[in-house]
Structure formats: C-alpha cells, structure tokens
C-alpha cells in the first residue's frame, strides 16, 4: 500500500472525521480492499481512535478487509434473481472455483461475493464480473463467462 497516495486521499477529504467513510471508499477503489495498515494511518492522521475506523470498515457492507482476487464476481441474490435461481448459480460458481463466498481463489484470480440487487432485475439471474453485467445466467453459461477471465 502506498502511504503517499493514501495521504492524497485523506487530503481530498480534508482529514475530517466526517470524511472517513469517503476515504475508505477511495482507498478501497485503489487497493480493491482495505489493508489494516491503511485503517491505522487514517486513524492517526484524522486523529480518531483506530477502533472507530475499524467499526466503520466493518459496519458498511461494501468494504472488504480481505484481499480480493483480480476479478470480483458478484452473484446477484436480489429478490428477482432469487426467484429465478440465483442461489443455484452461486452454488455452481463456488463449487467450480472450490472457494467459498467472500474468499479469494488460491491463484488470486477471483473473489466471489453475493450482492443484493444490482438494479437490473429484468435480466435475472444476473452475475457481474468487475463492471460487466451478464444477464439470463444458467449454470452452463456462467461457467463459460468465468473462462473468459484470466
């Protein structure tokens, strides 16, 4: 993790305690997860207890304290995807990759996470890889999608 870059992020939010959530968001965008070292630095520079930063990092669902793979696979388990079989797609993906939800595959290629609705329910069931959406997924199709990523 680049301490100088992190300082730039903190500066952008005026080192303000009320800006910590935004700092964490920016940090995660760069690092793909929140390294503990980063949380400690933020606490120090902003001047609040590390426990406060940690509590924010764990309260908000979009933060991850674990390193993520090169590609983030989000399997939508929103209501529309659920009734159209999103759960079975999730099972298929974790089974094929041999890694449970939220963990990185040993080769560092993927992290699979469930997501509650990505707002395109008309295409259910939906899987996104990084920023690309794949709709109308089946167990067969999703295997093909994952093969496209290195």
Partner 1 sequence: MILASPLPRLEDVPFFAHQRLVVMRHRGRIDPERIDDYIALDGYEALPKALLEMTPEKIIGEVKTSLLRGRGGAGFPTGVKWELCRKAPGERKLLICNADEGDPGEFMDRSVLEADPHAVLEGMVIAGHAIGAGEGILYVRDEYPLALRRMQVAIDQAEAYGLLGSDILGSGHSFRIRVIRGGGAFVCGEETALIASVEGRAGRPSPRPPFPAQRGVWGFPTTINNVETLACIPAILLRGGAWYASMGTETSKGTKVFSLVGKVKNTGLVEVPMGTSLRRIVFDIGGGIPDGKRFKAVQSGGPSGGCIPEGLLDLPVDYEALTKAGAIMGSGGLIVMDETSCMVDVARYFLGFLMEESCGKCTPCREGILRMHEILTDFTEGRGTEAQLALLEELAPVVKDASLCALGGTASNPVLSTLRYFRDEYKAHILDRRCPAGVCRSLITYVIDEGRCTGCMVCRRACPAEAISGGKRKPHRIDPERCVKCGACRESCNFDAVRVA
- CA–CA separation, 106 and 42 (whole Å): 30
For 107, residues 6+ apart whose C-beta sits below 8 A from its C-beta are: none
| Cβ closest to partner 1, residue 41 vs residue 53 | 53
| Closest approach of partner 1 to the CB of residue 138, in Å | 5
**What tokens appear for 125 in the block?**
């069931």
- 14 makes contact with partner 1 (CB under 8 A): no
| Closest approach of partner 1 to the CB of residue 123, in Å | 8
**What tokens appear for 10 in the block?**
């903190």
For 70, residues 6+ apart whose C-beta sits below 8 A from its C-beta are: 108, 109, 110, 149, 150
- 132 makes contact with partner 1 (CB under 8 A): no
Compose the 22-61 pattern: x for residues touching partner 1 by CB under 8 A, - for all others.
x--x-----------------------------xx--xxx
Q: Which stretch binds partner 1 (CB under 8 A): 1-9, 31-39, 80-88, 104-112?
A: 80-88
- Phi, psi dihedral angles at 113 (to 5 degrees): -135, 150
| Cβ closest to partner 1, residue 108 vs residue 132 | 132
- 79 makes contact with partner 1 (CB under 8 A): yes
Give the β-pairing of 110-115 and 132-134: unpaired
Radius of gyration of the chain (CA): 17
Applying CB under 8 A, the residues found at the interface with partner 1 are: 16-22, 25, 55-56, 59-63, 77-80, 82-85, 88, 91-92, 95, 115-122, 124, 131, 138-140
């Amino acid at each position: 993790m680049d301490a100088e870059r992190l300082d730039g992020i903190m500066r952008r939010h005026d080192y303000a305690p009320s800006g910590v959530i935004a700092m964490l968001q920016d940090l995660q965008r760069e690092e793909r997860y929140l390294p503990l070292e980063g949380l400690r630095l933020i606490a120090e520079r902003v001047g609040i207890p590390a426990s406060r930063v940690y509590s924010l990092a764990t309260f908000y669902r979009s933060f991850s304290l674990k390193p993520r793979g090169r590609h983030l696979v989000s399997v939508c388990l929103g209501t529309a995807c659920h009734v159209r079989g999103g759960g079975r797609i999730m099972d298929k993906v974790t089974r094929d990759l041999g890694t449970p939800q939220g963990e990185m595959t040993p080769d560092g290629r993927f992290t699979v996470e469930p997501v509650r609705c990505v707002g395109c329910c008309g295409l259910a069931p939906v899987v996104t890889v990084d920023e690309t959406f794949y709709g109308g997924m089946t167990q067969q199709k999703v295997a093909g999608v994952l093969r496209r990523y290195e």
